[in-house]
Amino acid sequence: MKPKLQIALDVVSIKEAQDILSLNNLVDEVDIIEAGTVLLAAEGASAPRRLRETYPTKMLVADFKIADAVNTIGWMLFDAGANLITVIAAADLATVKIAGQLAKKYNQHIQIELYGRWDFDLAKEWFKGGVDHVIYHHSRDASQAWTVSDIEKIKGLIGIGFHVSVTGGLKPEDIEMFRGLEIFSFIVGRSLYEAKDPVEVARAFKQSIDASF
């Protein structure tokens, strides 16, 4: 299946997020909506709840990057209508396993956010613990270029069985680098919502995806 295009809404109010999605029907150009970490910090679980009310059938991610207390935080986010919620790679394995069980209960999914230190042995434990998605992430603060070493790590994660999403300062011209890999989604924030014409940029991402997959 072709990779999906996900918009990450790292803005500071639900109104701003809704305005971005509705401007020239940008929402119709993307496959997945993400209530970003910044939006969740500003508005809490109301953000996915309101997005779910407005877009009842769209796939919805709540990117909280949960580190602990996953039963409580995860419950709030799934209950608000999220299909996928994120747990940070640094979380204890116990947290990851509880997250996997919670997702199963809701018939939804957990994504592990790969920041900082992790290895393939740990990734295999996550997979065994019921987590089937990871997000291969270039952090916003580090702002690195994509390299062959990233591609090799992504291949390894796909080899374990994960659905792999890719994110971090992506631009349409970056997409071809991932050609032929089974990528679940490309997650894009600023390149879309800071663009003069977000619809045009979303279409450019889609064209790059069509050309490479």
Q: Which residues bind ligand 5RP (CB under 6 A)?
A: 8, 10, 36-37, 63, 140, 167-170, 187-191
| Ramachandran angles phi, psi of 190, nearest 5° | -60, -35
φ and ψ at 108, to 5 degrees?
Answer: -130, -165
CB 102, min distance to ligand 5RP, A: 21
- At residue 192, what are phi and psi to the nearest 5 degrees? -90, -60
Min dist CB 79 to ligand 5RP, Å, is 22
Q: What angle do CA 58, 62, 144 make, to 5 degrees?
A: 110
How far apart are the C-alpha atoms of 206 and 200, rounded to whole Å? 10
| Least spacing, CB of residue 88 vs ligand 5RP, in Å | 10
Nearer of residues 98 and 192 to ligand 5RP, judged by Cβ: 192
In whole angstroms, what is the distance from residue 66 CA to residue 70 CA? 6
Minimal distance, residue 128 CB to ligand 5RP, in Å: 25
Closest to ligand 5RP by CB, 43 or 63: 63
- DSSP for 79-127, written as a single string: HTT-SEEEEETTS-HHHHHHHHHHHHHHT-EEEEEE-SS--HHHHHHHH
Q: Which is nearer to ligand 5RP, 105 or 171 (CB)?
A: 171
Amino acid at site 88: I
Residue least distant from ligand 5RP (Cβ):
189
Q: How far is the CB of 98 from ligand 5RP (least distance, A)?
A: 22
| Min CB(188)–ligand 5RP separation in Å | 5
Euclidean distance between CA atoms 96 and 193, whole angstroms? 31
Pick 88 or 103: Cβ nearer ligand 5RP? 88
